[in-house]
Amino acid sequence: MPSDGRTLVIAATDAVIFLDTVTGETTRTLKKPAHIVTLSSDGKWLGTSRHHYRSVLRTAERGEAATRFEFGTKVIFSPDARWMALSTGGEVRVHKMELPLQTAYPLIQLGGETAYNPPLEFSPDSRMFAVPFNRMQVRLYETSTGRVLATLTPSHPAPIMGGSALEFTADGQWLLAAKNDGETVSWHLPVIRAELAKQGLNWTDPE
């Protein structure tokens, strides 16, 4: 959703609908097929996905295709609209939102048996993102470099669910993960960072 918080995009199978959340009115309709749609916070880009078709990066204004991705790719924009992550199968690719698109660093290969479309979530300040590394563990990566910051393991390991199973709190202090055993776990990131610092492993803040 754009930074003004007023625009909601809806994937309506054969169209993408823009809705003003204050007035409830439809502001724009793009005749572009989509079962899943994401909108960058600056309102410039759309990521559309449709079952059995390739995912597409589109301009939000006209719906023009800027580039296409392989089937099953999940498109995620960072809150600051500077980055885009592509999650598919056991791989994650991160791009700067500049055309022509180029990967910011080598792809991240997830380990073990991963979900076909593993969840990925950026922190509110966009400095890091979380993704299940091997379904049982969650890894935090530095967005600008792809560096591993921490590997988080639930006290009672079970596969992390797909979809939107990962969520940072709005203040960026906590990371939540839903597991398929019905349990939701939470990690207090300042505490984890402090514990890592004791071992000389504290991550540094990006400039």
Task: Please state the domain extents for the chain.
Answer: 1-72, 79-202
Contacts of 158 (CB under 8 A, 6+ apart): 136, 179, 180, 181, 183
CATH of domain 1-72: 2.40.10
Would you place residue 46 in the very low, low, confident or very high pLDDT band (cuts 50, 70, 90)? very high
State the fold for domain 79-202.
Methylamine Dehydrogenase; Chain H (2.130.10)
Q: What is the pLDDT of residue 124?
A: 96
Taking the C-alpha atoms of residue 150 and residue 54, their distance in angstroms, rounded to an integer, is: 32
pLDDT band, residue 162 (cuts 50/70/90): confident
Please tell me the predicted confidence (pLDDT) of residue 88: 84
List, in order, residues 6 or more apart from 4 with CB less than 8 Å away.
Answer: none
Assess whether pLDDT exceeds 50 at residue 207.
no
Interval 111-124 mean pLDDT: 76
The model's pLDDT over 77-106, given as tens digits with 9 standing for 90+, comes to 999 999 999 988 789 999 999 988 899 999
The pLDDT tens digits of the residues spanning 172-188 come to 999 999 998 889 999 99
1-72 and 79-202 share one fold: no
Q: What's the confidence (pLDDT) of residue 134?
A: 84
Pair of tokens at residue 180:
């398929």
Of the pLDDT bands very low, low, confident and very high (cuts 50, 70, 90), residue 115 is very low
Query: Which residue did the predictor score with more confidence, 193 or 143?
Result: 143
Q: How far apart are CA 184 and CA 83, in angstroms?
A: 28
Contacts of 35 (CB under 8 A, 6+ apart): 11, 13, 49, 50, 51
Asked if pLDDT for residue 12 goes beyond 70, the answer is yes
Mean pLDDT of 68-85: 94
